[in-house]
Amino acid sequence: MCGIVGAVAQRNITPILIEGLKRLEYRGYDSCGVALHVDGQLQRSRSTSRVADLESQIGTARLQGFTGIAHTRWATHGAPASHNAHPHFSPSSENARIALVHNGIIENHDELRSELQGLGYEFQSQTDTEVIAHLVDHMYNGDLFDTVQQAVKRLHGAYAIAVFAREEPHRVVAARQGSPLIVGLGEGENFVASDAMALAGTTDQIIYLEEGDVVDLQLGRVWIVDADGKPVEREVKTVHAHTGAAELGPYRHYMQKEIFEQPRVVGDTLEGVTGIMPELFGDNAYKIFKEIDRVLILACGTSYYAGVTAKYWIESLAKVPVNVEIASEYRYRDSVPNPNTLVVTISQSGETADTLAALKHARALGMTKTLTICNVATSAMVRECELSYITRAGVEVGVASTKAFTTQLAALFLLTLTLAQVNGHLTDEQEAQHLKQMRHLPVAIAAVLALEPQIMAWADEFARKENALFLGRGIHYPIALEGALKLKEISYIHAEAYPAGELKHGPLALVTDEMPVVTIAPNDQLLEKLKSNMQEVRARGGQLYVFADVDSRISSSDGVHVIRLPEHYGLLSPILHVAALQLLAYHTALARGTDVDKPRNLAKSVTVE
Ligand code: F6R
């Protein structure tokens, strides 16, 4: 899940490539690099720091050119070192003929590497990408477009590549299979990128390449062939891509800003919903919702936890059985398909490779009724699903998902009510009541965010710990999972979440007076059971940090720290409790001095499996 941008133009393209890379950093930031055609030679600059560092290197070196490619990397094969940074050259010497960038994973790279070494190619990196560069060089016949079409036939796995050749100064060739790639059309200049956002401000005329496409970019023309080598016309769309990095305003990090945007974006996501209507999900939604008798939710990470929350909601209100699967598992396991299933994918980016593959797998098994809850209207996920609900979180810059998650929950609750209505389980009175509560959500979330000073005091204590447990029950169990994920991914504290009743079946062995145990304690029907679980922790010396509702009747005492959320919010309570856990993770990470918006080893969009 790296980011690619390339251009062929009649002006210096380095500012376009650098700006594109800045917008693509969400796809990985282990290293970055640019290669340009300069006076009949290939030249490049690479950095294991951020794009801003690459920009100043390029400025110092006065690197300029009309044709080139650029890349921001999330390491798969080979450490995040400069010799593994893209673009890769072939031959690897100063006399390079081919420059290439790649997103994806080439599964037969070992075999190809041995073959190319046998032909005398020397490798400078451990990457699978360098293999493709040498392969293209080896097969080069003076026509890069033709060569790439032949070369990609040798590749097994997923790739989006962009490549140019020393001998063809006004040409960039690109290809995709399993990784996203778009073409941007300009006046006498053309571009390629991993997504339309990378080209915002340069062009809004976008072609979404399809699986197997190979594209020839020249100054005045774009020529595409499909996987069979047949010329194809792909639709040109006008895409008003967000330019991404909004101003930070009074916030220290995007994550903090995005946490505080939640009242607004949850409101935006529900804007215009004056009643429960299947059409909110697409024209054909009523018919599809009527036909299905079960739901299969496919997602990864935080989006998966949104799905688990939805399972509790849908089974309770709509009485439809729900199965929630981690996409990377589902796509490879034997399962029992049922054509009457509504397949729901949940994805912030809409480009997550595992979720897209799981969706295709479900469809291949005959489950063709598909719906996505997604934050990017132009994404592959939305294009691939028949029905959709677009959350309106806006661009999420922080790698740790916050506002995307709560808007997913808002959309999933809407889906729950819609399925309940279609199945005759929602009276007009209940509908009105739920809608009223949903309209009040922004105010309720804002009241939780006002607890920030109290949460900051806890964060200072957490920052000194290396482990933490999170407990929840019922609809708050997935919220405990999400709270633990937030803490570990940005503060690097090891955190695990359990349904509170499960503690005594093993994890209780971990509890000592050194172990902070975050407990989500809303005033619901499981509260008394939860209180018994809390006693089990206290009896072993564990330190309880309890997020209770105002009326939970839990008081602070020795080893029991309590923060009260202002109101109990019934079925929508997970949306409030998770906001408190996001703040705890954020302030703990801040106290530990980590790179909150770009935590180590991660990327915002996971487009490799
Ligand atoms: C964690 C996080 C990830 C994503 C996951 C799926 O904070 O953001 O766990 O939720 O990678 O990504 P999407 O939602 O884009 O499919």
pLDDT at 244 > cutoff 80: no
Of 584, 542, 586, whose CA–CA distance to 565 is shortest?
Answer: 584
- pLDDT above 70 coverage of the chain, percent: 99
Backbone angles phi, psi at 560, to 5 degrees: -125, 110
Q: Output the pLDDT for position 246.
A: 61
Q: What residue's CA is closest to ligand 1, atom 10?
A: 302
- Is ligand 1 within 6 A of the CB of residue 606? yes
Taking only Cα atoms into account, the Rg of the chain, rounded to an integer number of angstroms, comes to 26
CA–centroid distance, residue 605 to ligand 1 (Å)? 7
CB of 372 within 6 A of ligand 1: the answer is: no
Q: Which atom of ligand 1 is nearest to the CA of 352?
A: 16
* pLDDT above 60 for 158: yes
Task: Tell me the mean pLDDT in the region 178-200.
Answer: 94
Structure tokens at 99: 């420059």
Determine if ligand 1 sits within 6 Å of the CB of residue 352. Answer: yes
Ligand 1 contact, 309 CB (< 6 A): no
Q: Which residues contact 111 (CB under 8 A, 6 or more apart)?
A: none
| 91-112 tens-digit pLDDT | 987 789 999 999 988 999 999 9
pLDDT value of residue 75: 83
Which of 254, 258, 259, 302 gets mutated to test ligand 1 (max ligand atoms within 8 A of its CB)? 302
| Residue of 27, 303, 602 to mutate, ligand 1, most atoms within 8 A of C-beta | 303
pLDDT in tens, 531-573: 999 999 999 999 999 999 988 889 899 999 999 998 889 999 9
**Is the pTM of the predicted complex or chain greater than 0.85?**
no
How many A from CA of 601 to the centre of ligand 1? Answer: 14
Structure tokens at 351: 């480009």
**DSSP string across 128-177:** SHHHHHHHHHHH--S-HHHHHHHHGGG--EEEEEEEEETT-TTEEEEEEE
Q: Which residue has the tokens 């939640």?
A: 262
Cβ of 99 below 6 Å from ligand 1 = no
Q: Catalytic site residue 604?
A: yes
pLDDT of 520 reads 97
Is the pLDDT at 521 greater than 70, yes or no?
Answer: yes
Which amino acid type is present at position 463? A
**Distance between Cα 432 and ligand 1 center (Å):** 33
For range 571-599, the mean pLDDT:
97
What's residue 485's pLDDT?
Answer: 98
Confidence class of residue 361 from pLDDT cuts 50, 70 and 90? very high
How much is the pLDDT for 247? 74
368: pLDDT strictly greater than 60: yes
Q: What pairing do the DSSP bridges indicate for beta strands 31-38 and 205-208?
A: unpaired
The predicted-structure confidence for 297-320, as pLDDT tens digits, reads as follows 999 999 999 999 999 999 999 999
Say yes or no to pLDDT of 504 above 70.
yes
φ and ψ of 183, to 5 deg? -115, 135
Confidence label for 605 from pLDDT (cuts 50, 70 and 90): confident
pLDDT bracket for residue 114 (50, 70, 90): very high
- Tally DSSP H helices, then E strands, for the chain: 18, 24
Q: Is 347 in the pocket of ligand 1 (CB under 6 A)?
A: yes
**CB-based contact 375:403 (threshold 8 Å):** no
Confidence (pLDDT) at 243: 57
Query: pLDDT tens, 31-70?
Result: 999 999 999 999 999 999 889 999 999 999 999 999 999 9
Which residue lies with its CA nearest to atom 3 of ligand 1?
301
Q: Is the CB of 407 under 6 A from ligand 1?
A: no
Other Cβ atoms closer than 10 A to 515: 18
The answer to whether the 3-241 and 450-609 domains have the same CATH topology is no
The mean predicted confidence, pLDDT, of the chain is: 94
Q: Is 408 in the pocket of ligand 1 (CB under 6 A)?
A: no
Residue 348 Cα to ligand 1 middle (Å):
7
441 lines ligand 1 (CB under 6 A): no
Q: What is the pLDDT of residues 120-156, one digit of tens each?
A: 999 999 999 999 999 999 999 999 999 999 999 999 9
Q: Is 298 in the pocket of ligand 1 (CB under 6 A)?
A: no
Fold of 450-609: Rossmann fold (3.40.50)
Q: What per-residue confidence (pLDDT) applies to 74?
A: 86
- Is there an atom of ligand 1 within 6 Å of 303 CB? yes
pLDDT in tens, 453-496: 999 999 999 999 999 999 999 999 999 999 999 999 999 999 99
Cβ–Cβ under 8 Å, residues 359 and 298:
yes
Give how far Cα 185 sits from Cα of 7, 208, 241, 310, 570, Å: 10, 11, 14, 41, 50
Model pLDDT, residue 3? 92
- Expressed in angstroms and rounded, the spacing between residue 237 Cα and the centre of ligand 1 is 27
* pLDDT score at 123: 94
Residue 159 pLDDT > 80 = yes
| Ligand 1 atom with least separation from CA of 301 | 9
> What confidence category does residue 245 fall into, taking pLDDT thresholds of 50, 70 and 90?
low
Nearest-atom number in ligand 1 for the CA of 604 is 8
Residue 403 has a pLDDT of 98
Q: Which of 16, 570, 123 is nearest to 316 (CA)?
A: 570
Q: 258 is written with which tokens?
A: 């995005």
What is the pLDDT averaged over residues 160-171? 97
Residue that is written with structure tokens 């639709």 in the block: 235
In DSSP terms, which residues pair with 387 in a beta bridge? 371
Ligand 1, residue 300: give the atom nearest the CA.
6
CATH code: domain 3-241 is 3.60.20.10
Mapped onto helix, strand or coil, the DSSP state of residue 335 is coil
Tell me the CA–centroid distance for residue 527 and ligand 1, in Å. Answer: 30
Cβ 599 under 6 angstroms from ligand 1: no
- What number does the ligand 1 atom closest to the CA of 355 have? 16
Give the distance (Å) from ligand 1 centre to CA of residue 401.
Answer: 6
pLDDT in tens, 211-233: 999 999 999 999 999 999 999 99
Which residues make Cβ contacts (< 8 Å) with residue 532, sequence separation at least 6?
A: none
For the beta carbon of residue 317, count every other beta carbon within 10 angstroms: 20
What pLDDT score does 449 carry? 96
CA–CA distance, 134 with 403 (Å, rounded to integer): 43
Any idea where the domains of the chain sit in the sequence? 3-241, 247-446, 450-609
β-partners of residue 542 are none
CA of 400 to the centre of ligand 1 (A): 8
Smallest CA separation from ligand 1 atom 11, residue: 301
Q: Is 518 in the pocket of ligand 1 (CB under 6 A)?
A: no
Mutate to test the pocket of ligand 1, among 27, 348, 390 (most ligand atoms within 8 A of CB): 348
> One of 2, 32, 300, 385 is an active-site residue; which one?
2
Per cent of the chain over pLDDT 90 is 86
Atom in ligand 1 nearest the alpha carbon of residue 299: 16
What is the structure's pLDDT at 467? Answer: 97
Secondary structure string (H, E, C) spanning 412-427? HHHHHHHHHHHCCCCC
How much distance in Å is there from the Cα of 375 to the middle of ligand 1? 11
Q: What is the pLDDT of residue 242?
A: 63
Tell me if 300 CB under 6 Å of ligand 1.
yes
CA-to-CA distance for 332 and 328, rounded, in angstroms? 7
8 A C-beta contact, residue 386 and residue 289 = no
- Span 417-437, pLDDT tens digits: 999 999 999 999 999 999 999
User: Of these residues, 22, 257, 598, 604, which one is catalytic?
Assistant: 604
pLDDT higher than 90, residue 194: yes
CATH superfamily of 247-446: Glucose-6-phosphate isomerase like protein; domain 1 (3.40.50.10490)
- What angle, rounded to 10 degrees, do the helices at 129-139 and 109-118 form? 50
Asked whether the beta carbons of 479 and 506 are under 8 A apart, the reply is no
